Amino acid sequence: MSLTPGKYKHMKALSNDAGIIAAAAMDQRGSLKNGIASAQGIAPEKVTDQQMQEFKTAVSRILTPHASAILLDPEWGLPAAAARAKNAGLLLAYEETGYEANDHHRMPDLLPHLSVNRIVDMGADAVKILLYYTPYSPSDVNDIKQAFIERIGNECEACDIPFFLEFVGYDNELDVKSLEYAKKKPSVVKGAMEEFSKPRYKVDVLKVEVPINPAYVEGSRAYKGQTAYTKAEALALFRDCASVATKPFIYLSAGVTNPIFIENLEFAAESGTDYSGVLCGRATWLDGVKIYGAQGLSALEDWLSVEGVKNIEAVNDAVKGATSWEKKAGTAAA
């Protein structure tokens, strides 16, 4: 299997010299607004465009010298894209953020003013889509979501740009932080990885959750007393999910703290999975939101320059055991 020369060139721009994707993520929109608003004691709608752009730009400027790429959104992230380090590739989000409160199936939608062609014109090296997905949804619901991804895959193929698909599991009956969902989560992650590895979707990289909830791994840093899996069982679940992926896959941090995300990556390495890196957001910069909201830009920049850099370097050290995406994606076609 080989990538087109165009896709191959973009993938090289997104990864380090070892073929590992060690990328920062700063495409949060609604959650970032909520965080800044909470820190300032205001309503989310009172957070200004300038504040959103300012925060994203500071993260991009200070952290991308330590990253192989950064994921941003076209709504507030373009100034941050321009401020990124020259060594860092660029991924842009294509989807609308969030979902309607009464939308139990969390159906996806695209930013209405965008196309993959326009994202290419913005200088992106890849298109990213976030999809809420569980194999336990009704088949007619998942059929719609699958057709949605097929269309985007074809659009990316026509524009010769890599397609990164991020899927996040959910459950309408269970709290995703509960012990019950922790036991179900491995099958949710595995089902999505297996489905979207199929050639029909034309996905180049799967951006996936770790298949366990570390809070329920006996003896883990996040462990709180209830057990869904022993460490040995957790490692087996990492291997089981990785075994169905025929596309390169990378892990997302899913809002956990930096030490817990590092431990997740240690589990991945110890289990022997062939993951190809990370797209890591809140595990590097989340604590900076409160600092920015309470103390302003200068305090945020000071914090990012010390603690933010320390966080991303810890992730970089943890991904040294990852496997180049070329193992599954292939080299450039002749």
List, for residues 49-100, the tens digit of each pLDDT value.
999 999 999 999 999 999 999 999 999 999 999 999 999 999 999 999 988 8
C-alpha triplet 177, 179, 185: angle, nearest 5° = 70
User: Please, is 330 exposed, middle or buried when counting C-beta atoms within 10 Å of its C-beta (0-12, 13-18, 19+)?
Assistant: middle
**Domain contains 326:** no
- Are the beta carbons of 129 and 164 closer than 8 angstroms? yes
Q: Domain range spanning residue 207?
A: 5-321
Collapsed DSSP state (helix, strand, coil) of residue 63: helix
pLDDT (tens digit per residue) in 153-187? 999 999 999 999 999 999 999 999 999 999 999 99
**Domain contains 331:** no
pLDDT at position 282? 92
Residue 174, both tokens: 């269970």
Residue 167, both tokens: 């899927």
Total domains present in the chain: 1
DSSP calls for 88-111:
-EEEEE-BPSS--TT-TT----B-
pLDDT (tens digit per residue) in 265-324? 999 999 999 999 999 999 999 999 999 999 999 999 999 999 999 999 999 999 998 999
**Domain contains 127:** yes
With a threshold of 0.95, does the pTM exceed it? yes
Instruction: Measure Cα distances from 317 to 43, 242, 267 in Å.
Output: 38, 21, 14
**Domain contains 327:** no
Instruction: Measure Cα distances from 282 to 1, 242, 286 in Å.
Output: 34, 24, 5
Q: What is the CATH number of the domain that holds 22?
A: 3.20.20.70
- Residue with structure tokens 């830009």? 297
**Domain contains 185:** yes
**Domain contains 266:** yes
**Domain contains 44:** yes
The torsion angles phi and psi of 176, rounded to 5 degrees, stand at -65, -10
**Domain contains 334:** no
C-alpha triplet 170, 174, 176: angle, nearest 5° = 50
pLDDT at position 331? 75
Collapsed DSSP state (helix, strand, coil) of residue 32: helix
pLDDT at position 333? 61
The torsion angles phi and psi of 143, rounded to 5 degrees, stand at -65, -40
Neighbouring residues of 144: CB distance < 8 A, sequence distance ≥ 6: 107
- Are the beta carbons of 329 and 11 closer than 8 angstroms? yes
Pairing of strands 69-72, 89-93: parallel
- The percent of residues in the chain predicted with pLDDT above 70, rounded, is 99
The torsion angles phi and psi of 111, rounded to 5 degrees, stand at -60, 125
User: Please, is 285 exposed, middle or buried when counting C-beta atoms within 10 Å of its C-beta (0-12, 13-18, 19+)?
Assistant: buried
